[in-house]
Amino acid sequence: MRFVVVTGTGTDVGKTVATAAIAACAAGRVAVVKPAQTGMAPAEPGDLAEVSRLAGVDDVHEFVRYPEPLSPHHAAARSGLPTLARDAAAERIAALAGSHDVVVVEGAGGVLVPFDGTTGWTVLDLARDLAADVVLVTRAGLGTLNDTRLAADRIATAGLTADVVIGSWPADPDLAARCNLDDLAAMSRSGHLAGVLPAGMTAVTDFRSEARAALGPAFGGDFDDVAFRAAHRPQYRS
């Protein structure tokens, strides 16, 4: 049984696509959990609907939903709805272990976004509770080194390590994105990028094949980090 917690350096870095890719490549019985969905009305399709569409995984679980696009603790307070308790979330996710081989959990926002304004628990607490593998999704371009290092260091402070995945690699990467590859790989648990997801993956016709090509062997894919970085690494004057 394997738990995988997907978090990010911030909002809109590609967590949902990464979650779908991991679910699509996982072997055996797969479930996907979104503990807290914000910014969606009760009947509106949320992140799990997109995961199901892309990965073809229908065993999905959302615990709480708040209508305003805010962090879960603020969204709960604004709506007057109950916050999500850490113990309850961990217990509900752990209960899936008996009937699944892999459970993928998508967090909200970045690594330190609180789910509860009173206790301030975060996705890292949930990852510890589940003894989960952590995937840190980040951006490719200028500014990502600071964001990713801060997130990776905070993950390490929590006693965890993370596999780094680039959430959206442009078709025509600029110099900053190409220069960042080796640095981002060095921040990953294995010293290698666990995946590089091409921009536009939500529109491809064969998502599963694209996911396998974009994720490394640790997540059931064929992505070759060393070859990818060698192909995109810029020349340096020494």
Please choose, from the candidates 115, 174, 182, 104, the residue with its C-alpha nearest in 3D space to the C-alpha of residue 145. Answer: 182
Q: Among 34, 86, 139, 192, which one carries the catalytic annotation?
A: 34
| 8 Å CB contact between 185 and 193 | yes
Q: Are 129 and 90 in contact (CB under 8 A)?
A: yes
15 an active-site residue? no
Q: Rounded to a whole number, what is the largest CA-CA distance in the chain?
A: 60
Q: Please, what sign has the CA dihedral across residues 165, 168, 169, 174?
A: negative
> Could you tell me the two tokens for 63?
């615990």
For residues 106 and 103, what is the distance between their CA atoms, to the nearest angstrom? Answer: 10
As annotated, the active-site residues are: 34
